[in-house]
Structure 1
Amino acid sequence: MTDIIIPPNTARIRELNDAFRSTFIGGRVFITEGIRARGQAFESACVEAVQTFSDFTEDNDPYHEHNFGRVVIEGTNVFWKIDYYARDLAHGSENPADGFHTTRVMTIMLASEY
């Protein structure tokens, strides 16, 4: 296995991602139709599980950014993913560690929708 090089701004990216994931403040959150189709209780359980997620490991977070995770709700695999965009949402962020110039976009989806 190749050693992964962790950039020096990773701690700041992780801090911003954790704050956004746990509060949904500082970006946009999209919940897919697959999640919504399962009803409000399922959707609420997904949101709560994502906001309280803390099971980051080398396997699921190799770059230490806390930008992806998997939770299991009612026996169903649910993924969440944070992407980094420029404030105008027209292209990717040049510096995800810059919370002012970056808009975080989280998608919560069924694993089958990934």
Structure 2
Amino acid sequence: MALFQCNTCGASKEVETGIVEVCANCGSAKVVNLTVQAEQIAKANDAFRAAIICGGHPAYKGRVVCSQGVAAEGPEFMTMAQLQVAGFADFNEDNDPHGDHSMGAVQVCGKTVWWKFDLYDEAYEFGADDPLDDDSTRRVLTLLFPNEY
């Protein structure tokens, strides 16, 4: 089962077998297999997260930021949070419904810290045009407390 979406009109279609090459709604050829896209984004997100503890990933560019609440806990807490986030691997249908590993939660010193990815353009102004284009996509990994969401 795969989910396809038209990048022109936004229509989506789920198919058991085969490939959707043209949107049945508008005729556009700009159709994306969201299932495959989610898997590829998950792979890149995982690699980016794992590399935050060693200076960043060479192919997946971006930055790690934290909320005011997380920053107020101090540098040791932020370091422990980053270590927990870098090693997170407990994805399931409940915490990763889209299959792209874009959000999670870890425990740091008895406190729940959420982390989430947003994908931007090179200038960090708009959403990524093509989240699979590693040269132009920038990841922002945010660490925050649930009450700051």
Given the two structures, how large is their TM-score scaled by the length of structure 2?
Answer: 0.69
Alignment pair present for 1:90 and 2:118: no
Percent identity of the aligned residues?
Answer: 36
Could you say if the C-alpha distance between residues 40 and 88 of structure 1 is closer, same or farther in structure 2, counting changes exceeding 3 Å?
Answer: closer
Alignment pair present for 1:41 and 2:76: yes
> How far 1:4 sits from its partner (Å)?
8.8
> How far 1:102 sits from its partner (Å)?
0.5
Letter in 2 for 1:27: G
Residue 19 of structure 1 is matched in structure 2 by 47
Residue 111 of structure 1 is matched in structure 2 by 146
How many residues end up aligned between the 2 structures?
A: 112
- Find the structure with the greater CA-based Rg: 2
Q: Specify every segment of 5 or more residues in structure 1 that has no aligned partner in the other structure, as ranges.
A: none
Q: What is the Cα-based RMSD across aligned positions, in Å?
A: 1.7
Write the mapping of 1:59-74 to structure 2, written as runs, cut at 5 A: 59-74=94-109
Cα separation, 2, equivalents of 1:67 and 1:94: 17
Q: Specify every segment of 5 or more residues in structure 2 that has no aligned partner in the other structure, as ranges.
A: 4-33
Cα separation, 2, equivalents of 1:96 and 1:10: 10
Q: Secondary structure at the match of 1:9?
A: helix
- Alpha-carbon deviations, 1:21-77, whole Å to 9, x = none? 111322111012211211222111111100000010100001111110001112211
2:2 and 2:35 in contact (8 A); partners too: no
Given the two structures, how large is their TM-score scaled by the length of structure 1?
Answer: 0.89
